[in-house]
Structure 1
């Protein structure tokens, strides 16, 4: 990311990774509307929650830029434990249960690979994202 582009980021919603995550979560929401009613409180709820949590974690990451350790911890949550990888698991279940066609799932899974890659890149270049101490 160029210094010029980074200076145009005023809040978490300006982050490209956040925008991709938000759009992917919305696609999952729309797609999951067709899941069977018996999945409402299991697969449907889980995939919606994990996809939305990616966005929520990225918003929190942005607010934690003052503290390197906290920033890295939140990036880790967004990447692994909390949610992008979890969303990929739920996509696989949706395909295996025949609730989601394989092409749609591949597109969504690919979006999460892109999101994960962007989060890893942020982690590797953490100092570029931290607030400057005054």
Structure 2
């Protein structure tokens, strides 16, 4: 039987990693807005889709009652964060962002990924505690 948390309404907006992801998305959006139409449509659309998926998966996962489902959504957020890093690299290679901007956004992505991994470990420990208690 899958570990379930005590039913309660939780606010994903209180998660530090969610707040960090939203700030990161805002920075990316401001950069993409300055690009010409074609670059916005192709690379910009992909970067924004992948980066917003990080926050969306955190929100969806945090609203789950079943802990293993939350782990799955956090894992999706990790994948979307890595995908965003790839698109940022492509933007740098296409000379849409400079090396300094790339490094700043990439370092933020690394920080978000570390926070997501820590979150997975925390939720998995809750799963283990629930199994031992049950």
Partner of residue 71, structure 1:
70
How far residue 19 of structure 1 moved from its aligned partner, in angstroms, is: 0.6
Distance of aligned partners of 1:14 and 1:129 in 2 relative to their CA distance in 1, 3 Å threshold? farther
Q: Deviations over 1:32-88 (max 9, x none)?
A: 112222123210111011111111111011101x212211111110011xx100110
Ranked by relative contact order (alpha carbons within 8 Å, sequence separation 6 or more), the top structure is 2
Partner of residue 12, structure 1:
12
What value does the CA root-mean-square deviation take over the aligned residues? Answer: 1.8
TM-score, normalised with respect to structure 1:
0.83
Runs of 4+ in 1 over 2 A off after TM superposition: 127-130
TM-score, normalised with respect to structure 2:
0.83
Return the alpha-carbon distance in structure 2 between the equivalents of residues 129 and 36 of structure 1.
Answer: 47
Partner of residue 97, structure 2:
100
What pairs with 1:1-134 in structure 2 (closer than 5 Å)? 10-64=10-64, 66-80=65-79, 83-127=80-124
Q: Deviations over 1:73-122 (max 9, x none)?
A: 11110011xx1001100100010000001111111111110110011011
Aligned length: 120
